[in-house]
Each structure stands twice: as C-alpha cells, then as structure tokens.
Amino acid sequence: MQPKSSPYSLIEGGVCAAAGFLANAVSCGIKDPAKPRLDLALIFSSGPCETAAAFTTNKVKAAPVRLCQAHLRRGDVRAVIVNSGNANACTGPVGMQDAKHMADLTARQLGLRPSQVLVGSTGIIGVPMPMARIAPKIPDLVKGLSRDNPDDASRAIMTSDTRPKSIAIEVPIGNHTIRIGGIAKGAGMISPSMGTMLCYITTDCALSAPLLKSCVSDCVQNSFNRITIDGDTSTNDTVVVMASGCAGNRRITSTGQQYESFRAALEWLMLQLARMIVADGERVTKFVEIQVKGAATHMDARKVAETVANSLLVKCSWNGGDPNWGRVMHAIGYSRARIQEELIEIYFDGHIATRNGIAAGTPIELLRSAVAKPEFCVTIDLNLGEASYTVYTSDLSQEYVDFNRTEYAAPTKAS
Amino acid sequence: MQPKSSPYSLIEGGVCAAAGFLANAVSCGIKDPAKPRLDLALIFSSGPCETAAAFTTNKVKAAPVRLCQAHLRRGDVRAVIVNSGNANACTGPVGMQDAKHMADLTARQLGLRPSQVLVGSTGIIGVPMPMARIAPKIPDLVKGLSRDNPDDASRAIMTSDTRPKSIAIEVPIGNHTIRIGGIAKGAGMISPSMGTMLCYITTDCALSAPLLKSCVSDCVQNSFNRITIDGDTSTNDTVVVMASGCAGNRRITSTGQQYESFRAALEWLMLQLARMIVADGERVTKFVEIQVKGAATHMDARKVAETVANSLLVKCSWNGGDPNWGRVMHAIGYSRARIQEELIEIYFDGHIATRNGIAAGTPIELLRSAVAKPEFCVTIDLNLGEASYTVYTSDLSQEYVDFNRTEYAAPTKAS
C-alpha cells in the first residue's frame, strides 16, 4: 500500500536514502537452516548521529528491548542489528546474554563500543536464539554494508508479512532538502502501544538530540499508536530514528517553522508505514479507518475508536462486507466512554447508517457498497463535544484464525 | 454440559421446579414467519414473590432492559415475558413503546398491573420488533401456563445456542428442602459484565427482598461475570431471580447459616449455567478455565485472567491445540497488572510449561496432551502475593468468524 497521494517527493533508497547511512542483510537460517532467507539486517551511520526510540509498553519485554533501552541511555548509538524468526523474548538470562553477544560481535566488526549498537528481534517467543547460526554471519553482514541494496534490510526483518515495507521522502527545510527513509515490519500482534512491530527510520536532517527525542515520541503517538489489528500488544515493538545531520541544514535546536516541517514529515512517513502494516496484517482483507468525533474528551474519543476497532463481532462483520451498525453501537456502549445513545450517528464512507442512535433508513445497498470496498471509513459522531480521534484497523478473517492456530515449536527442538 | 459432579441433588423441572411457578412458550415467527420455532416464553409466579435482577453494564441498553429497571423499582413483579430473534436494542422511542406494549398485553391477560411484568429480548440489534406477529400470540401464551413443559421456555429463549440450558436442584435449608431452577441462553457477545445472556431463575425459598437483592448481585459477580467468549458485552444481558417463598422454610431475613446455604447454592447454580453458556459459545471447541494466583491484588489477578482469556492470539492457539505459553506470557505483559516476568509460572492442566518466566523444559507432548482436551485449565502463578481470580472462556475458531460475518438484515425488510 503506497500512499495514494503524497505531500512530499517520494524517492528510492529506503533506510539508505538519507546521506550518511549504509545497510546490509544476510541469511542465517534462524527459522529453518534448510530454507535460508534474509533474516539478519544491519543499519549503520558512517559518522556520529543522534538516535531516539520508542518501545513496547508490554511489561514482558524481550531482551533486545531492554538492551536497547540501556544502550540509548549511554548515547552515541551508531548501528542497529535486527533479526527475524526469533523474538528473543521470555528467554531469561540466556536471552540477555545472546542480545549482548549480538551487539558485541557487531561492535567489534565496526570498531565501535558495544553500547553504540542497538539490537532488534522479532519472531517466536520463548525459544533461545540460535546464536551458533547467527554469530558466524556477522562479519559478512558488516563487510557487505553499502547503499546499493536498501530493500534487503526491509526483507530481512519480515516475519508473517507478505511484502516488505519501505518508504523515503525528500523534505524542504529552510533552503535545504533533507531526506527521511524508513522500513517496517508488522503482521500479527498489532495494537495501540504498538504491536510486533519493528520500524527503523534514518534521516540526514541535523537536529538536536532532545528535539529528536520529543519529536519521535510525538509522531509515534499519532501513527503507530493509532493502529490495531488484533488488540494484542507484543513484547518486542521498537521504533528507532537515527539522524546523521549530513543534509547540511542548520542544526535545528528549537521548535519553530523548521522543526515543525521536520516533525510533520516524520509523522507523515510513520503514518504511511503504519498504514502499510495494517493493510498487510495477518490475512487482512479490509483496511478500515475509524474516525470518532463529537466526543466530550480526547480520552472518550480514543476509547470509542479503539473499542470499536477491537470488537471481534464488528471485525467479523467487516470481513463479511456487512454494514452492521448495531454491532458498532453495542461496542460504543461498552467502551466506557461518556455517550448518549440517542445522539449517536454512524456513517460508512459518508453514508449515514445511524441517526439518533437508530437506523437512519439509508438503503442497505448503499451501505453495503461502502463496506464492500477493500478500504473504507467508519465515522462515529457522538454529538457531545469537540474531541476527536482516529485509528486504523482491519477485519478479522477465518484465515487469521487458521494462520494463528499453531506456531509453537518444542523449545527443546527449536534451537 | 451437565455438571460432572454436584454437591446438590439435581432435579427435573427447570424454572418450574420450584413451587409456585408456571411457564409456557409459543411460536410467533419473530425471525422468519415461514420457519416458526418457539420464540416467546413466559414465566409466572402464581402468588406474590420477591424479585431481584442484574443487567448489562453496556451504556447502550435495550428498551426491555430499561423497562425492567423501572418496573423493579416499583416492586411486586410477578411475571417475565421473553422473546428471541429480536433484541429490541437501538430501536429508539418505538422500541420502548413495543417493550411496554408487551408488558401491558401480558399484564392484562394475567390480571396484573403492567409494572408487575418484566420483559426480555435477545436477537438482532437495530430492527424494530415485529409486534404484529407477537401481540396476537400473548393470550395463548398465558392460557397455556403450566408446570408440564418447562423445557419449552428454555428452548424459546435460544438464539445461536445449539442446545437449551436448564438446571434445577434441591437444597436443604434448616429442616426444609428448597428448590432452585434456572434457564439461560448465551452464544455470542459473552464477556464479563455479561454477554447477550439471559438467565431466569426461580426458587421457592422464603427470604427477604433486600437479602435476595444482595445475594443475586454477589452470585452474578462470581458466576456470569467470570465468563468471556469474545470480549463483547451486549446491550441486553439480564439475570432475573424470583423467589416465591412457597417452600415453607422460615423466611430468611438476615445473613447467617441459612442465608449462606442459599447463597452458596444459588452461586453454584449460576456457575453451572455460566459454564453451559461458554461450552455452547458460538462455534466453540474448547472450554478453558483460567486460574490466576499469587497476584499482588484481586484487581491484578482479574486483569491477568481477563486479558489472557480475551487475547485473540491465545484463543487461536487453543483452537489449534497448541500449548503456546509465550502468547500467554505476552498477554500477561500487556494486562496492566503488576507482574515480575522472572517470577511467572504457567501450567496446562497441572503440567508446568513456564518457570521463572521461561520454558520449564516439560516435554512438549505432555503439554500438547493437556491442551488437546476439550476442557482444560490454565494456571498462572504470578508469585507476587496472595490474590487469585478465575475466569471461564473458550477458544476462537474459524467457524466463529464465518458464523459472524453476516447477520444484518435491512431494517426496511426485517419487520
């Protein structure tokens, strides 16, 4: 799902689009040595850079998440190594050793300190990392760093994704042009507060570390924290943004016009990646935008949007192309938001289905044609106040259930 | 699902097992006039009785729920009329008129005031009640009241249930024997704070109105509020308990031994009906008890139990017979309860899968054999404190999704 229209110039290059960044990916056979695929990626800033990140709110945090948080506190991060096929979560002290080992080996090859390397992992939970297969590949991974194959990194971080997710843009900042590029993976366990979602973004914009940090946190709120596929929040979610400062713009050190231009562009880029994640959710057939307006408070609007987005019965009805506004009403009712039933309006792609909390009388064919589309918008007007909130979600398919019925390999066999 | 073992004598008779109650059911063709099935039931106390009830916490409340709440405030309830096939929810002022009309017609035939009649409805949301088909059947419904066909009432309240749910017991209270009998319907939208769940219980125990009220509220907390199928809470949930006082026991007016005997029996009976509802959930193949212990607080234990029970990924794994403790860990992690990852233990039917937050090394075959059973228990020990909580839930099947893909009929066609 590429954006239908873009306020920015789209460019090639993914995480290598911004000046100062190199990347590479190799195959280790992490999931299955017999069927090797790209599963280990490296992103490297050839000079000093600023780095900011956001992580899962799940209290069960994978070892690499905890390691990243520690390394970011020391500052001066220059590289990220990421594997797919194993989440290194619920792996205890051995898991932390393995994550450190990945950072150490990478740092040694790059001539960095271990704390200058971040680690990301995604895949199965509870199975120790196959380090014997990963460690020997790290020298090749580093040797092959270049700007030539930016797509390899986006492929190497995929798990049940069906396609790589990558985007890069040019943004005018004052008299300069800066670049922002990013890759992401999603698929299952996507929920506000992030899903099994990894996202790595690079930019050559020059801006101060504190501004980058608040900017990333702000943009994540309005993009990745607005998507939900199944309400499950993973143990590994990570968004990392690295800024090389190579674009030559005057370093942004305070909020104002230039900061706002950068912030808006970063948020837009994150939102595109977030939308790609939903559209490629596990066995998803519908991309649904849920706009709630007229809420008494921002939190009420958010509760309604997220509750409707996560209602199994609502998601099933979308899968069936059924404009079932009654199920939307019932989800609004248990959202714990302040509502008045008799004021509620519900629209499917602009066609009113519910007025004053009851059927609006719009011909069912019109409503069906809206919900039949692969992408549509559900608007809920609570008519109580001025607050609004939007989330992006999907339907729930039989294939999702089938896909997620079995995954767990015996720990004794898997490593 | 009848109880495997019972601390009470099971008897026949459903809602007519207790002395003083009559019931009947008729067909109105509410869903489809061409395929009539029992869809309108009446339960009647031939003498004065005490009545207490609990209702949905959904803020979108169906008209009959609001009407019941008003009638209960006036006291002196004697009858309940219940239809399936239409929920009379999101039907606006017309819906309230229809609910009142049902109470009025029933009261007239029974020689009662309208406020002495409760109304229950379950079925599709947002479609006006087909009163032209219901009203003419009410005289026959009243005329046929008897103790002879107690199963008819349990059949008439079914929607997507595959079997009627009914149970009755004898309970010694002091030197007397009292009877409690109940019927219920469930199927979809089952969640704590109740689902599309109707339950009607009668007893001939004599006890005071305030005691009955607190007893019902207490027992619902420990039974119907412990079950969840899909996390969706409906607009119509209702539990009504009517006590005729015909058993001849000395009226219970204070807590103590006799009250406790009654309370324990009512709670046990409600729990059996709740378990039947889960076991007959829409396209359910597994009945799963989730016991959380060692929590720091009762609320923490409850959050963990409910979050694990409602996790789509966890439910899918049960459907596949997959002892995926990693998904249980991740759901514990986002439950917002206080936890320490490295203290968590997870058991499948007593076999330890997770110790210190990581794989316990139990052979996968043992864990698989536990989860392969149609009914099993997941125990989660947080090892942080003394609080515990139990919920009853199910897997999620492809058939559930298929079943719920389409339901919504055009309002213009349905009535």
pLDDT one-digit tens code per residue, B245-276: 999 999 999 999 999 999 999 999 999 998 88
Task: Return the higher-pLDDT residue of A61 and B229.
Answer: A61
Share of chain A above pLDDT 90, in %: 69
Whether A348 and chain B come into contact, CB under 8 Å, resolves to no
The question of whether B196 is a catalytic residue gets the answer: yes
Q: Does residue B151 belong to any structural domain of this protein?
A: yes
Instruction: Give me the pLDDT at residue A413, please.
Output: 31
Cα(B154)–Cα(B63) distance, integer angstroms? 22
Task: Give pLDDT tens digits for A260-302.
Answer: 999 999 999 999 998 888 888 767 788 899 999 999 999 999 9
- Would you place residue B188 in the very low, low, confident or very high pLDDT band (cuts 50, 70, 90)? low
Pair A44, A69: CB distance under 8 Å: no
Q: Which of B216, B248, B279 is the last residue of a domain?
A: B279
Lowest mean pLDDT among A94-103, A305-314, B377-386: A305-314
Rounded (5°) CA angle B314-A393-A342: 105
Q: Do A358 and B230 touch (CB under 8 A)?
A: no
pLDDT at residue B415 is higher than 60: no
Q: pLDDT band at A187, cuts 50/70/90?
A: low
One domain, residues A198 and A295: no
CA distance linking residue A191 with residue A310, whole number of Å: 9
Choose the final residue of a domain: A259, A279, A299: A279
- Answer yes or no: do A246 and A128 share one domain: yes
What is the count of structural domains for chain B?
A: 2
pLDDT at A404 exceeding the cut of 90? no
Q: What are phi and psi of B66, to 5 degrees?
A: -65, -35
Secondary structure class of B200 (helix, strand, coil): strand
Interface contact A406-B189, CB threshold 8 A: no
Q: Is residue A363 situated within a structural domain?
A: yes
Q: How close are the terminal C-alpha atoms of chain A, in Å?
A: 35
Query: Does A112 reside within a domain?
Result: yes
Does A316 have pLDDT greater than 90?
A: no
A316, A257: one domain: no
Count Cα atoms within 13 angstroms, Cβ side, for B371: 28
Q: Looking at residues B51-69, what average pLDDT do you find?
A: 91
Q: Pick from A238, A230, A231: which is nearest to A283 by CA?
A: A230
Stretch A74-99: mean pLDDT, rounded?
A: 94
Place of tokens 């392969």: B372
- Other C-beta atoms lying within 10 Å of the C-beta of residue B74: 11
Q: State yes or no: pLDDT of A31 exceeds 90.
A: no
Confidence of residue B59 (pLDDT cuts 50, 70, 90): confident
A159 touches chain B (CB under 8 A): no
Return the SS3 of B343.
Answer: helix
Alpha carbons B358 and A412: distance in angstroms, whole number: 12
d(C-alpha B83, C-alpha B97), whole Å: 15
Q: Higher model confidence: residue B66 or residue B160? A: B66
Q: Name the closest residue on chain A to residue B126, using Cα atoms.
A: A326
Contacts of A397 in chain B (CB under 8 A): 401
Task: For residues A308 and A196, state if they share a domain.
Answer: no
Mean pLDDT in chain A? 90
- Which residue of B60, B330, B410 is in closest CB contact with A341? B60
Residue B413 covered by a domain = no
* Residue A268's CATH number: 3.60.70.12
Contacts of B356 in chain A (CB under 8 A): 92
C-alpha angle B106/B101/B15, rounded to 5°? 40
Residues B245 and B310 in one domain: no
Q: Are residues A247 and A376 in the same domain?
A: no
Query: Are residues B271 and B333 both part of a single domain?
Result: no
pLDDT band at B414 (very low <50, low <70, confident <90, very high): very low
Q: Is the pLDDT of residue B160 over 90?
A: no
Chain A CB within 8 Å of residue B163 CB? no
For chain B, what is the radius of gyration of the CA atoms? 22
CATH number, position A301: 3.10.20.340
Q: Looking at the predicted structure, is the pLDDT value of residue A383 above 80? A: yes
Report pLDDT digits (tens) over B290-347: 999 999 999 999 999 999 998 888 888 888 899 999 889 989 998 989 999 999 999 9
Query: What residues of chain B lie within 8 A of the CB of A311, using their CB?
Result: 231-232
Chains A and B form CB pairs within 8 A to the count of 235
Give yes or no: residues B89 and B136 share one domain: yes
- Per-residue pLDDT band for A408 (boundaries 50, 70, 90) equals very low
A411 in a domain, yes or no? no
Give domain status of residue B401, yes or no.
no
Which pLDDT band holds residue B39 (cuts at 50, 70, 90)?
very high
DSSP codes of every residue in B56-122: ---SS--HHHHHHHHHHHH----EEEEEEEE---S-HHHHHHHHHHHHHHHHHHHT--GGGEEEEEE
Q: Is A212 in the same domain as A117?
A: yes
On whether both B241 and B372 belong to a single domain, the answer is no
CB distance A60–B333 less than 8 Å? yes
Tell if the pTM clears 0.95, that is, is over it. no
Last residue of a domain, one of B249, B279, B309: B279
Report, as an integer, the average pLDDT of B389-399.
Answer: 86
Q: Is the dihedral of CA B32, B33, B37, B39 positive or negative?
A: positive
- Mark whether A292 and A388 lie in a shared domain: yes
In this prediction, residue B192 carries a pLDDT of 38
Distance CA B224, CA B218 (A): 11
- Which DSSP helix (H) or strand (E) runs through A276? helix A257-279
Q: Are A160 and A188 a contacting pair, CB within 8 Å?
A: yes
Q: How far apart are CA A130 and CA A125, in angstroms?
A: 13
Q: Where are the alpha helices (DSSP H) in A17-111?
A: 63-74, 92-110
User: What is the predicted pLDDT for the residue at B191?
Assistant: 43
When the pLDDT of each residue in chain B is averaged and rounded to a whole number, the result is 90
Chain B: residue whose CA lies nearest to A308: B232
pLDDT at A36 over 60: yes
Of residues B413 and B407, more confidence is placed in B407
What distance in Å separates the CA atoms of residue B202 and residue B182, rounded to the nearest whole number?
6
| Burial state string for A98-126 with b = 16 or more CB within 10 A and e = fewer than 16 | bbbbbbebbbebbebebbbbbbbbbbbbb
Is residue B402 included in any domain, yes or no? no
Residue A1 lies in a domain: no
Measured between CB atoms, does A189 come within 8 Å of chain B?
A: yes
Give the residue numbers spanning the domain of A57: 9-279
User: How far lies B316's CA from each of A244, B161, B180, B324, B396, in Å?
Assistant: 43, 21, 37, 10, 5
Q: Are residues B220 and B138 both part of a single domain?
A: yes
State yes or no: ipTM above 0.95.
no
CA–CA dist B273, B269 (Å, integer): 6
